[in-house]
Structure 1
Amino acid sequence: MNRFLLQAAAACLALALSLPAQAAVVLLYHHVSERTPAATSVTPAQFAEHLQKLADEGFQVVRLDELVERVRAGEPAQSRLAAITFDDAYRSILENALPLLKQQGWPATVFVATEAVGQGGNIMSADDLRALEREGWLLTNHGHQHLHMVRRQPDESERAWLARLREDITQAEELLAQWLEKAPPKFFAYPYGEHDAKVRELLRELGYIGFAQRSGAVGAPVDWQNVPRIPVNRHYAGWDSLGDKVRALPMPVQQVSPASGITTDKRPALTLVLPADWAQRNVNCFAGGAAGIVREVHSDGVQLRVTPGRDLTPGRTLVNCTASAGQGRFYWYSWLWMHRGESWYSE
C-alpha cells in the first residue's frame, strides 16, 4: 500500500509539474469590414468565426480590466481567459463587431485615438463611444494624435520629446473623461505598437499599463508597460494559426537585450535568457522567415541569441519564438524590431 501511495504521489507531482503556467490572452483588432485594408482588417465573417471558436474551445471572454485584475490576483493554471480589444474607434466596430459580440454576450474594449473622434468618415463620434459604454464596453486611451511615439522631431531634445508625449496622452485622457463623464482606466495602447524603454518609463510615471502589438500570453510576471496583444488581420485570420496564438502560454523569459527594439542593423541580435530547466527544450524563432539561434547553456540559465534569417527592411518586423507546452499549447514570446533605415527614425 505504501508503495502504491508513493507511486500515486509521484504521478500527481509529475502531472502538476507538466501543467503549463497560468495565462490569458488579449486579441487586437482594428476594422471589422470587407471594405478596409486587409493589413488592419478582418471581415465580419472572420470575426464571427473567431468568436465561435473561442466559445467552442471554452474561453471566458471578459473585459480588459477584468482580465488584468484576474491575472494580478493569480488566475488558476490552465484557465482559458481572453479579452477582445480594438484600436482607433472605427465605425465598423459599432456597426459590425458589436452585434456579433452581443450574440455571445461578451464585452470588448476600444482604445480611442481622440483627435479623430467626431470628425466624420469611418471614425466614431463621442455619442457612439457613449453608446458602446452603455453596452458595457470599456473605452480607454490610444493617445490624441496617434503618434509614432519613438520618433523624435528634427532637433528635438529628449526632454521636449517626452513632454510632447506626456501632453498627447494627457489630452486624450481628459477628452475621454469629458465625453464619458468619468476618468478612463489607466490603460494605454501604443500606436503602431511602437515603444522603447523611455516611453515605457513615461507610462510607468503616469500610472499606466501599456499594451503592445505582439503575440504572446499574459502571465503574472508580465511587464505591465509591455503587455502583449495578439494582432489579428485578414492575412492571419485562419484559426489553424490564430488558434495556436490564442491558446499560447507565456514563455518564461528572464532577461531580454537590447532594451530598445529601435535599430539600424539589418540583422540585429536579440538575446533571451530562459531558466536552466529549459536546456533540453526546442525553441524555434521566426522573423520574416526562420531565424538563426545560437544557444549557450549555463548553470543559471539558457541564453538564446536570435538573429533574423534575412535583412530587415525599414519599418517594423516581429520576431516570434515558440516552444511546445504540451496539451496542444505553445509557449510564446514576441519582440518588435523597429528598423530606421536611412530616415525612418530621427535620433
Structure 2
Amino acid sequence: MKILIHYLLVIFLLQSSLLAHQNHAVVLQYHRFDEDRYPSTSISMELFTQQMQYLADNNYTVWPFSKTVKYLLEKKELPDKTVSITIDDGYRSVYTKAYPLLKKYKFPFTVFVNSAPVVHESVHYLTWDEMREMGKYGAEYANHTYSHQFLVRDGIKDPKNYKKHITKEIEMCEAKIEKELGAKVCKNPKILAYPFGEYDLKLMNLVKSLGYIGVAQNSGPISSESNFMALTRFPMSGGFGEMDQFRLKINTLPLPIKNVLLKDTLVNESNNPPSLTLTLKKPLKNLQCFTADGKKIAIQWLNNTTVTVQAQYSLEYPRNHYTCTAHAQGNAWYWYSHLWIVLE
C-alpha cells in the first residue's frame, strides 16, 4: 500500500511539474504611451494600466525578453504564463508615462533603441541618463539600428552597398548603446528588432552572420521551435490591445507547424497575392486564416495536415500578413502570422 501511495505521489508531482511549465511565451510590443497624435503606434495609459493590472492579478510571469529568448534557445522550460514586455524606438513617453507604472509593478521591460535621435538629443526621445535610471529598475536595452531605415527596401535599391550599409547601421547602434548603457544591453544573446518589422531572407542571413537574434512585429507567441531570426510579438497599439483582445492574445499557443514551404516575405507584381503553404504537426480542421485587415482567406487542404493559403486579391503597399488561428483548448487559441513586404 505504501509503495502504491508513493507511486501515485510521484506521478502527481510529475504531472504538476509538466502543467506548471511550458516551452512558449507571449511577447507584447509597444511604442508610445498617451500620444494621441500617433494613434497607430500609441496606447492610452488607461488601457496600459488595465493590461499591467491584469498581468499582476492573474499571476503572469513577466520576464526580460533576453531571458525568455535565452531559455527558448536552450530549450529550457519556462514558468507557466510567461510574458515579456518590449518597447520600440525609445520615445520620451516610455520614461514619462510607462516607466513609473512598470516600476510600480516591478515588471522588467526591454527597449529597442535606434540611437541616432538620442545621439542628436531629440526632445522626442529618451536621454542616456533616463535610460540609465530605468536600467536600475528593470529596463534592458537592445539594438534597433542607428537610424531606423527601411533595410530591406534600401537593400533592393542599392544592392552593391547592401552588406556594408546594413552592417554599419547595426554596429553603430550596438557600439553606442554598449558605451552608454553597458551591462544593461542584451548581449547573451544579442538581439535586433527590425525597423518597421520588415525582414526578408537576405536580411535574416546577414543579421544572423553578425551574431544577432532577429525580432519582427507580426503577431504570435514564440517557442523553442520558432524562427529565431524572426521572433513574433503582439502589437498592442492602434486598437490591437483592447482588453478582450489582450486576454485572448496573452493565452495563445504557437500553431503546431512542422514546415513552412515559403519562408521569404517579398511580394511583387509576379506573386501578388502570395501563396503560403504550411504543414502542421497534427490535423486542425478548425483552422482559419485572415489578412491584416481581417478579411478571411480561402484555404486549400492538400492533405489532412498540409494547407495552402492565398488571399483573393492583391495585397497593398507597404506590408501585410497572413494570420492563421485554430481553437486549442478552453479559451486558448493556436496562432501563427507570416509577414509580407509589398514592393512598389
Given the two structures, how large is their TM-score scaled by the length of structure 2? 0.87
Aligned residue number for residue 46 of structure 1 = 47
Match of 1:316 among 303, 315, 319: 319
Contact 1:173/1:184 (8 A) holds in 2: no
How far is 1:121 from its partner?
Answer: 2.7
How far is 1:223 from its partner?
Answer: 1.4
The 5-angstrom pairing of residues 265-284 of structure 1 reads 265-275=271-281, 278-284=282-288
SS at match of 1:100: helix
SS at match of 2:83: strand
Ranges in structure 2 where 5+ consecutive residues have no aligned partner: 1-7
Partner Cα distance (2:101, 2:31) in 1: 15
The residue type equivalent to 1:44 in the other structure is M
Distance 1:172 1:42, change over 3 A: same
Residue-by-residue CA offset, 1:187-216 (whole Å, 9 max, x unaligned): 100111100111111111111111110111
Match of 2:142 among 140, 150, 155: 140
How far is 1:35 from its partner?
Answer: 2.9
* Pair 1:97-2:101 in alignment: no
The 5-angstrom pairing of residues 165-184 of structure 1 reads 165-182=166-183, 184=186
Partner Cα distance (2:233, 2:78) in 1: 20
Range with greater deviation from structure 2 (71-80 or 257-266): 71-80
The 5-angstrom pairing of residues 78-117 of structure 1 reads 79-117=80-118
Partner Cα distance (1:260, 1:319) in 2: 13
Partner Cα distance (2:89, 2:231) in 1: 18
The residue type equivalent to 1:131 in the other structure is E
SS at match of 2:324: strand
Aligned residue number for residue 219 of structure 1 = 223
Aligned residue number for residue 4 of structure 1 = none
Partner Cα distance (2:255, 2:79) in 1: 15
* Pair 1:292-2:298 in alignment: yes
Contact 2:221/2:252 (8 A) holds in 1: yes
Q: CA RMSD in A?
A: 2.5
Contact 1:318/1:336 (8 A) holds in 2: yes
SS at match of 1:49: helix
Contact 2:193/2:215 (8 A) holds in 1: yes
Equivalent residues, number = 325
Give the share of equivalent positions with the same residue, in percent.
Answer: 29
The residue type equivalent to 2:112 in the other structure is F
Ranges in structure 1 where 5+ consecutive residues have no aligned partner: 1-7
Given the two structures, how large is their TM-score scaled by the length of structure 1? 0.87
Match of 1:243 among 241, 247, 260: 247
